[in-house]
Homo-oligomer: A and B are copies of this chain.
């Protein structure tokens, strides 16, 4: 074994290539080393080289470089034989195959989840006698004995009390139904939290904060694993069915990302490159939202705006493909039984009027306030959970919250049903055939208008009852959601937020409608609201309110409006939606720039460099770099005077991820950077396999080691693992530029020099800590990098 043996094992480290390239490059560089042994390497990477440890940050430039290498290798090989050509074509197409598979699987899972949730939600109230696996709607759909009016009352569907005691009505039946409703809810939530606890702790929560962090380049092993996928899917069904105030949208994004990760492992192009893997995950997130709402374009924009970190145009296109496939798969499963892709299909018949912008903007203000309140209260509660005894009893907590939810929810018809049904009803316009309590208007028999074009009418008693119940439901949802989000079960935020907004919006909508009816001579109504005309659509107010509240919580903007646009399918209502979404964002931003996901990222201390935070402070690189004034000097290696023992001591005594290599300690001129992991592996390997390498061997990072007398120990040449192009900035570089560079290039660390002398180092952790410090946050909360 000689020094060339080392070459063989480190070929996958990207910079070794640089040495080889000068031979094939048209620009033969005379200054480059001309050693003859540069070409003798094997094409087999040493295990673990080029991978990352758990909870570490990836180096985007390095990943990109490695992928380019891989691509170059395949391209040059493809000219050799037909087989290699086919392999290269397969490789080029593998991205599309992965997208197709993600779309198919996440669409299927979403369909299965929808069906299961439907069934289990109804199971809390009763069972279908003809086939117990039918939900209420499916059960009565197949029944021939029901008329259209009573389409949700069919003999095959029996409530538990009716089934057990024979009495469908009366106080006894009500109490029994109530009791069983709570029991089922507790059972479902207990199962959910136990499964999460035992099998996949990562399956809890919405998953979006973690996915954002992972996409920004952090490694959390197992977060997108097979177990998480399985358990999250199952427990999501249980959690939603239990009637807790949570939705399935966020977790569906997590499920889709798990699918993406699963299919990545089929292709080495993605499984071995953390950068490429993240491109797939971005697309998977789009597919997740696509199936959650049936909004493929909204999904892509959500991934672009909210989740992704690195989103090249190629990913945009692939995301779109994955989102479409997923949406169409879901549509073929047709879980809602209406051939509609979207979750809440609505069609409004009347346009909106300029004056209505006032209530829409008020709803926006409400949404912004709700967003602020929710984020603050939820974060405070989650912090308490983290820091006090509370966090030690997650199962008990879930049981308690489920119990309270069920007890309070059952008596109110608007909270008893599933939240998405509630939203759907609130969004709906009151047609002629609507049997809902919300549509209990007093009909004027003198009016001779066609049945399906109903003008504004005075509200009947049903509407007033509904208003009270909705007001109670609003307060209940607001309070309980704060305690629900963040528990150790899968829980999404979209649906509860939308429910809060939809309730508020519908109340405002009915108020405006009645005002317009009773006071159509007022100046504001005069122009657009003649008596007997249909001028106010309360359902639209519900939709606007939902958008405002969702916007306040998540701070989504374009993607939110596009999702809403896809739900209604008309450009007509974009202006109201946008007015509300913008107002909500502005109001919420006035109280704090961070959305719920960023707040949770911060709470958990993930090293996430938000692209939206503008760094506007006047600090320089020299203020941030390590070592600080009273610190020991920077741990560096010299290019030709460090022994193996010195290096080993340095590795043992410090926990830095890498070490700069300088010409000499006196000149401090930087020549490269070496990763701790590579150094450890290289020395271990050399000590085992290379004769003559002992503790007193000198480590050379230069191109050629000098010819030493035979009595000296064999030198160890490590130029192969030296990164000769470390990223440097000068000490005078403003930190805003440094932050920009870290963000855009996805660096792990950056060296600081002045006049060519090495002064210090800035890591991503340092940048994050500095940014937190500048914003008066607790800098110690940032996770180890």
Give A residues with C-beta under 8 Å from B. Answer: 14-15, 17-18, 20-22, 24-27, 29-32, 61, 64-65, 68, 71-72, 75, 296-297, 300, 304-305, 312-313, 316-317, 320-321, 324, 327-328, 341, 557-558, 561-562, 565-566, 569-571, 574-575, 578, 582, 611-612, 614, 616-624, 629, 663, 667, 669-672, 724-726, 728-734, 736-737, 740-741, 744-745, 753-757
Report yes or no: A618 in contact with B24, Cβ–Cβ below 8 A: yes
Report yes or no: B18 in contact with A732, Cβ–Cβ below 8 A: yes
User: For residue A574, which residues in chain B have a CB less than 8 angstroms away from its CB?
Assistant: 296, 324
Known: A22-B620, A623-B29. A663 touches B755 (CB 8 A): yes
Q: Give Cα distance in the complex from A732 to B726, angstroms.
A: 9
Q: Give Cα distance in the complex from A619 to B21, angstroms.
A: 7
Report yes or no: B757 in contact with A629, Cβ–Cβ below 8 A: no
Which of these, B17, B569, B618, B732, contacts A725 with CB under 8 Å?
B732
User: For residue A622, which residues in chain B have a CB less than 8 angstroms away from its CB?
Assistant: 29, 31-32
Report yes or no: A623 in contact with B561, Cβ–Cβ below 8 A: no
A-B contact pairs, 9 of them (CB 8 A): A21-B734, A25-B617, A29-B620, A300-B558, A321-B578, A667-B756, A672-B730, A725-B729, A725-B737
The distance from the CB of A757 to the nearest CB of chain B, in whole angstroms, is: 6
Among A327, A725, A741, A756, the one with the most B-chain Cβ atoms within 10 Å of its Cβ is A756
Among A305, A557, A725, the one with the most B-chain Cβ atoms within 10 Å of its Cβ is A725
Q: Whose C-beta in chain B lies nearest to the C-beta of A574?
A: B324
Report yes or no: B324 in contact with A313, Cβ–Cβ below 8 A: no
Report yes or no: B619 in contact with A328, Cβ–Cβ below 8 A: no
Known: A31-B622, A670-B756, A734-B65. A320 touches B25 (CB 8 A): no
Q: Whose C-beta in chain B lies nearest to the C-beta of A559?
A: B316
Report yes or no: A562 in contact with B756, Cβ–Cβ below 8 A: no
User: For residue A297, which residues in chain B have a CB less than 8 angstroms away from its CB?
Assistant: 297, 562, 565
Report yes or no: B725 in contact with A733, Cβ–Cβ below 8 A: yes
Q: Give Cα distance in the complex from A375 to B105, angstroms.
A: 40
Q: Whose C-beta in chain B lies nearest to the C-beta of A340?
A: B571
Apart from A321-B578, A672-B730, A725-B729, what are 19 other A-B pairs with CB-CB below 8 Å? A15-B732, A17-B734, A21-B618, A21-B734, A24-B618, A26-B619, A30-B629, A64-B740, A297-B297, A297-B562, A305-B316, A316-B558, A320-B557, A327-B571, A671-B754, A728-B730, A744-B744, A745-B745, A756-B756
The distance from the CB of A460 to the nearest CB of chain B, in whole angstroms, is: 35
Which of these, B24, B317, B620, contacts A558 with CB under 8 Å?
B317
User: For residue A621, which residues in chain B have a CB less than 8 angstroms away from its CB?
Assistant: 725
List the 4 closest pairs (A to B, CB-CB), nearest first.
A756-B756, A27-B623, A21-B618, A724-B732
Report yes or no: A571 in contact with B296, Cβ–Cβ below 8 A: yes
Q: Give Cα distance in the complex from A623 to B27, angstroms.
A: 6
Q: Give Cα distance in the complex from A582 to B726, angstroms.
A: 39
Known: A297-B297, A669-B755, A756-B756. A324 touches B619 (CB 8 A): no
Among A312, A569, A732, A757, the one with the most B-chain Cβ atoms within 10 Å of its Cβ is A732
User: For residue A296, which residues in chain B have a CB less than 8 angstroms away from its CB?
Assistant: 571, 574
Which of these, B24, B728, B734, contacts A728 with CB under 8 Å?
B728
Which of these, B27, B558, B737, contacts A619 with CB under 8 Å?
B27
The distance from the CB of A476 to the nearest CB of chain B, in whole angstroms, is: 33
The distance from the CB of A128 to the nearest CB of chain B, in whole angstroms, is: 32
User: For residue A324, which residues in chain B have a CB less than 8 angstroms away from its CB?
Assistant: 574-575, 578
Q: Give Cα distance in the complex from A365 to B316, angstroms.
A: 22
User: For residue A729, which residues in chain B have a CB less than 8 angstroms away from its CB?
Assistant: 725
Q: Give Cα distance in the complex from A312 to B610, angstroms.
A: 12
Known: A21-B619, A30-B629, A575-B324. A730 touches B726 (CB 8 A): yes
User: For residue A736, which residues in chain B have a CB less than 8 angstroms away from its CB?
Assistant: 64-65, 68
Q: Give Cα distance in the complex from A316 to B305, angstroms.
A: 9
Among A26, A562, A618, the one with the most B-chain Cβ atoms within 10 Å of its Cβ is A618
The distance from the CB of A444 to the nearest CB of chain B, in whole angstroms, is: 30
The distance from the CB of A397 to the nearest CB of chain B, in whole angstroms, is: 36
Q: Whose C-beta in chain B lies nearest to the C-beta of A72?
A: B616
Q: Whose C-beta in chain B lies nearest to the C-beta of A342?
A: B571
User: For residue A72, which residues in chain B have a CB less than 8 angstroms away from its CB?
Assistant: 616, 618
Q: Give Cα distance in the complex from A154 to B704, angstroms.
A: 93
User: For residue A669, which residues in chain B have a CB less than 8 angstroms away from its CB?
Assistant: 755-757
Report yes or no: B21 in contact with A755, Cβ–Cβ below 8 A: no
Q: Give Cα distance in the complex from A660 to B312, angstroms.
A: 34
The distance from the CB of A679 to the nearest CB of chain B, in whole angstroms, is: 19
The distance from the CB of A690 to the nearest CB of chain B, in whole angstroms, is: 25
Q: Give Cα distance in the complex from A20 to B566, angstroms.
A: 51
Q: Give Cα distance in the complex from A582 to B616, angstroms.
A: 43
Which of these, B571, B614, B741, contacts A745 with CB under 8 Å?
B741
Q: Give Cα distance in the complex from A317 to B300, angstroms.
A: 15
Report yes or no: A61 in contact with B737, Cβ–Cβ below 8 A: yes
Report yes or no: B21 in contact with A620, Cβ–Cβ below 8 A: yes
The distance from the CB of A759 to the nearest CB of chain B, in whole angstroms, is: 9
Q: Give Cα distance in the complex from A558 to B562, angstroms.
A: 15
The distance from the CB of A423 to the nearest CB of chain B, in whole angstroms, is: 20
User: For residue A313, which residues in chain B have a CB less than 8 angstroms away from its CB?
Assistant: 305, 611-612
Q: Give Cα distance in the complex from A619 to B27, angstroms.
A: 7
User: For residue A30, which residues in chain B have a CB less than 8 angstroms away from its CB?
Assistant: 629
Q: Give Cα distance in the complex from A629 to B729, angstroms.
A: 27
The distance from the CB of A171 to the nearest CB of chain B, in whole angstroms, is: 49
The distance from the CB of A640 to the nearest CB of chain B, in whole angstroms, is: 13
Q: Whose C-beta in chain B lies nearest to the C-beta of A22?
A: B620
The distance from the CB of A550 to the nearest CB of chain B, in whole angstroms, is: 15
Known: A297-B297, A616-B71, A730-B726. A623 touches B740 (CB 8 A): no
The distance from the CB of A110 to the nearest CB of chain B, in whole angstroms, is: 16
User: For residue A755, which residues in chain B have a CB less than 8 angstroms away from its CB?
Assistant: 663, 669-671, 756
The distance from the CB of A488 to the nearest CB of chain B, in whole angstroms, is: 32
User: For residue A312, which residues in chain B have a CB less than 8 angstroms away from its CB?
Assistant: 611
Which of these, B75, B611, B745, contacts A744 with CB under 8 Å?
B745
Q: Whose C-beta in chain B lies nearest to the C-beta of A569?
A: B569
User: For residue A624, which residues in chain B have a CB less than 8 angstroms away from its CB?
Assistant: 27
Which of these, B14, B557, B569, contacts A317 with CB under 8 Å?
B557
Known: A327-B571, A558-B320, A755-B756. A18 touches B734 (CB 8 A): yes
User: For residue A61, which residues in chain B have a CB less than 8 angstroms away from its CB?
Assistant: 737, 740
Q: Give Cα distance in the complex from A672 to B740, angstroms.
A: 20
Q: Give Cα distance in the complex from A612 to B667, angstroms.
A: 42
User: For residue A667, which residues in chain B have a CB less than 8 angstroms away from its CB?
Assistant: 756
Which of these, B341, B731, B754, contacts A571 with CB under 8 Å?
B341
Q: Give Cα distance in the complex from A18 to B622, angstroms.
A: 11
Q: Give Cα distance in the complex from A681 to B58, angstroms.
A: 45
Q: Whose C-beta in chain B lies nearest to the C-beta of A737?
A: B61
The distance from the CB of A71 to the nearest CB of chain B, in whole angstroms, is: 6
User: For residue A566, which residues in chain B have a CB less than 8 angstroms away from its CB?
Assistant: 571
Q: Whose C-beta in chain B lies nearest to the C-beta of A23?
A: B618
User: For residue A20, which residues in chain B have a CB less than 8 angstroms away from its CB?
Assistant: 618
Q: Whose C-beta in chain B lies nearest to the C-beta of A615?
A: B68
Which of these, B22, B618, B733, contacts A25 with CB under 8 Å?
B618
Q: Give Cα distance in the complex from A29 to B621, angstroms.
A: 11
Q: Give Cα distance in the complex from A86 to B765, angstroms.
A: 38
Report yes or no: A25 in contact with B737, Cβ–Cβ below 8 A: no
Q: Give Cα distance in the complex from A313 to B560, angstroms.
A: 14
